Amino acid sequence: MTSPVMINRLATGVPGLDTVLAGGLPEFSFNLIAGPPGSGKTTLAHQMMFALASPERPALYFTVLGEPALKMLRYQQQFAFFDAAAINGSIRFINLSDEAIGGDLDLVLRRIVEEVKAAGPAFVFVDSFRSVIMAGTAEGAQINQLQSFVQQLGVQMTSWQATTFLIGEYFSETEDNPVFTVADGIFWLRQSLQRNSMVRKLEIVKMRGQATLPGLHTFRITDAGVTVFAPAERAVSAEQRDIAPSRLPMGVEGLDAMLGGGLPSGFSLLIAGPSGSGKSILASSFLAEGARRGEHGVIATFEQNPTRMRNPLLSNLLGSPKVTTVDARSRDLSIDEILLLLITEIRRTGAARVVIDSLSGLELAVAPTFRDDFRESLARLVFALSAEGVTLLVTSELEDRYTDLRFSPYGTAFMTDAIIVHRYIEVDSRLRRMMAVVKLRGSAHSDEMREFTIVDGQIIIGTMLESQAGLLSGRPTRQTTAASAAPPDPRGLHDA
Amino acid sequence: MPSPAGDRVAAALSSRAGPDANASSVAVSVVDLCRELERSLTPIVGQRGFAALYGRSLYLTSRDFPWIGHPPDGVPTAADLGALRSVLAAQSAAIGMRGGTALLEAFHSLLVSMLGAALTERLLADVLLPHSSGHAAQDLNR
């Protein structure tokens, strides 16, 4: 027999956590849930316990000298996962404060082992473990006694086939603590504070026997409990998506021709332009055209008062079943949370078209702690949505600068497959709008700069301003002689 | 007006004390019920935790029944149910029953205020049931 032992992976019942754990929690593992007070350790432990415990596989929750059990039960039952019917059935609470208060670690260990032998639980939780340690040191317990205690507990619990969690307040990962060595898994919960914003983050510092997703993963605690925003799993391979890149009509007459026949499906398109130039109207037209063709659309907006900010076309669309919106107005969002909201809605509705309106709003919506690496996060968002196979339209506020030519803030131009830019120009003492396709990856597109107007909430693309020169300067001048350059492509297209 | 919890406590006490209850049997019944509460809750809240809840219940009850006594000064490590038994036994059966019922009801209400009715019911499921101390049913036909 050469086959290795199969390690059973347990579903934790915490959305996103099994993904971060690369498939779930290893059975019979000895885990530490660590973090500062208020970081969500006890909630995470309870949520896992209620998901994991069953009459056949019960759980014991030992409370030591941490949070009083009465208070813990009082607050934990506010969460949707709390099931009072499980208490004294598949879940039993055991108070060890009387044993721990004397500081005799052997007595605590003996009591835990006795209870485990008597009940035969599949899951054991010890909360708070730091208080066990402090109780020990208060009585002068030596570090080797403590190490011996932790090792014995680990050995006993594993031998009794109990998947175990020690919950504790540890402030430093570098703390010289024998628990860290003995533990198979370490869940580290953090609270990242910046100004008056707080973001919760979880890291699997260690998990023996499996390659967990590295790094900090944001999570949120709501009435439902903990939700971890794991990086999105790829849904559709790039190869699959590239098989048949059909073209999607944009819903604005003339624009499809400028794009060489519409926007290739699965592409990401950035609409960049100054405030009020019609980016949101173009985005709404894109969704409306999809709805007209029976395709579902999803839009993420980040205004605090979305109803007031919406254009009439979008308001009508959101009243129809074909376009839905994600609620991205929570405080201190992370890109991963927004991505999860979008992907959940895309998968729920089978959406083909997705709009993010706008990047500027998105930047303000994410917690300050994420702004430093906003560009990287944005790239991840675009690539993940692209992997979902949807066609993405992103709007971006672009300050009109007539001394240099820019197409996007944040250096985002490279992230998207296509870019359309809007610009204001002054002609005959009027502020007029123009639009151009500046990028369409792997495809021919128009090089024309076309004037456009907004009439009754619709974009009407006009002609090129052939009589004007220097449009990009914002103050064009009337041309008096015909250009002597090479004749243009009669189709108005050029290769990308 | 008697509360549903009070009715249940009174029913549980009456069935335990029996129809010819005297001061002593009332005292034994109240203390027995307290011990059952202690047995149910100590594994969860600890001995000191139970003593704290009992002390608070005693304090609340003493406002209407001063003879039941106050919780001892300092931080109690265990509930002194022996003292309770003595003070109950010193009252008439009727007064002892009313004071004992009020104490157990106060304890129940305290727990409900902390944990809610559903979880309290769950934790005390086996305690506040009428005690079946009568004779076992006999077949009349042989």
**Contacts of residue A69 in chain B, CB cutoff 8 Å?**
44-46, 49
Q: Looking at the predicted structure, is the pLDDT value of residue A88 above 70?
A: yes
**Which token pair is A305?**
């008062």
> Confidence class of residue A426 from pLDDT cuts 50, 70 and 90?
confident
H or E stretch including A438? strand A430-440
| Model pLDDT, residue B39 | 93
**Contacts of residue A95 in chain B, CB cutoff 8 Å?**
42-46, 49
| Model pLDDT, residue B58 | 94
Angle at which helix B81-89 crosses helix B23-62, to 10 degrees, equals 110
Q: A77 to chain B, minimum CA–CA distance in Å?
A: 8
* Residue ranges of chain B whose CB lies within 8 Å of a chain A CB: 42-49, 53, 114-116, 118-119, 122-123, 125
| Model pLDDT, residue B142 | 41
ipTM, interface predicted TM-score of the complex: 0.76
Q: Looking at the predicted structure, is the pLDDT value of residue B19 above 70?
A: yes
| Model pLDDT, residue A230 | 85
% of chain B beyond a pLDDT of 90: 53
Residue of B nearest to A62 (CA): B44
- Beta pairing partners, A61: A93, A125
| Model pLDDT, residue B136 | 46
Does A69 contact B123 at a Cβ distance shorter than 8 Å? no
Q: B125 versus A254: which is more confidently predicted?
A: A254
> Confidence class of residue A74 from pLDDT cuts 50, 70 and 90?
very high
Lowest-pLDDT range of A107-111, A239-243, A475-479, B73-77: A239-243
Does B122 contact A87 at a Cβ distance shorter than 8 Å? yes
Q: Looking at the predicted structure, is the pLDDT value of residue A59 above 70?
A: yes
Read off the pLDDT of each residue in A33-37 and give the average, rounded to a whole number: 88
The answer to whether the beta carbons of residues A203 and A216 sit under 8 Å apart is: yes
Q: Which of B45, B47, B119 minimises the CB distance to A77?
A: B119
The whole-angstrom separation of Cα A181 and Cα A172 is 14
Q: Which of B49, B53, B116 minimises the CB distance to A95?
A: B49
Residue of A nearest to B114 (CA): A74
pLDDT tens track for B103-125:
999 999 999 998 998 899 889 87
Helix ranges (DSSP H) in A120-237: 129-138, 143-159, 178-182
Lowest-pLDDT range of A344-358, B67-81, B87-101: B67-81
pLDDT tens track for A306-354:
566 567 788 888 888 899 988 777 777 888 888 888 999 999 999 999 9
Buried b (16+ CB within 10 A) or exposed e, B26-44: bbbbbbbbbebbbebbbbb
One-letter identity of residue B114: M
Q: How many CB atoms lie within 10 A of CB A80?
A: 12
Read off the pLDDT of each residue in A455-477 and give the average, rounded to a whole number: 80
**Contacts of residue A97 in chain B, CB cutoff 8 Å?**
46, 48-49
pLDDT tens track for A136-153:
555 445 566 666 777 888
**Which token pair is A480?**
């008096």
pTM of the model: 0.75
* Residue ranges of chain A whose CB lies within 8 Å of a chain B CB: 63, 68-70, 73-74, 77, 84-85, 87-88, 92-98, 101
| Model pLDDT, residue A210 | 85
**Contacts of residue B114 in chain A, CB cutoff 8 Å?**
70, 73-74
A396, A397, A400, A406: CA torsion to nearest 10: -30
| Model pLDDT, residue A465 | 77
Rg of chain B, C-alpha, whole Å: 16
| Model pLDDT, residue A492 | 54
**Which token pair is A57?**
């596989």
% of chain A beyond a pLDDT of 70: 82
Q: How far is CA A219 from the centre of its chain?
A: 9
> Confidence class of residue A412 from pLDDT cuts 50, 70 and 90?
low
Does B46 contact A97 at a Cβ distance shorter than 8 Å? yes
Find which of A71, A95, A114 to mutate to test the B interface (most B CBs within 10 Å of its CB): A95
Does B115 contact A74 at a Cβ distance shorter than 8 Å? yes
**Contacts of residue A63 in chain B, CB cutoff 8 Å?**
44, 46
Q: Which of B42, B49, B119 minimises the CB distance to A84?
A: B119
One-letter identity of residue A186: I
Q: Which of B44, B47, B122 minimises the CB distance to A69?
A: B44
Give long-range contacts, CB 8 A cutoff, 24+ apart: A285-289. Answer: A285/A250, A285/A251, A285/A252, A285/A313, A285/A458, A285/A459, A286/A250, A286/A251, A286/A353, A286/A355, A286/A393, A287/A251, A287/A314, A287/A317, A287/A323, A287/A353, A287/A355, A288/A251, A288/A313, A288/A317, A289/A248, A289/A249, A289/A250, A289/A251
Residue of B55, B56, B128, B58 lying closest to B99 (CA atoms) = B58
Q: Looking at the predicted structure, is the pLDDT value of residue B130 above 80?
A: no
pLDDT tens track for A257-297:
999 889 999 999 999 988 888 999 999 999 999 999 999 99
| Model pLDDT, residue B60 | 94
Rg of chain A, C-alpha, whole Å: 29
The whole-angstrom separation of Cα A286 and Cα A252 is 8
The whole-angstrom separation of Cα A269 and Cα A285 is 14
> Confidence class of residue A400 from pLDDT cuts 50, 70 and 90?
low
| Model pLDDT, residue A485 | 46
SS3 state at A450: strand
Q: Which of A87, A92, A98 minimises the CB distance to B119?
A: A87
Beta strand A268-273 with A418-427: parallel, antiparallel or unpaired? parallel
Q: B137 to chain A, minimum CA–CA distance in Å?
A: 31
> Confidence class of residue A255 from pLDDT cuts 50, 70 and 90?
very high
Most confident of A251-260, A470-479, B10-19: A251-260
| Model pLDDT, residue A466 | 76
- Only one residue has tokens 């709003």, namely A361
Find which of A75, A88, A127 to mutate to test the B interface (most B CBs within 10 Å of its CB): A88
Does A73 contact B42 at a Cβ distance shorter than 8 Å? no
> Confidence class of residue B83 from pLDDT cuts 50, 70 and 90?
very high
| Model pLDDT, residue A238 | 45
Residue of A94, A171, A99 lying closest to A125 (CA atoms) = A94
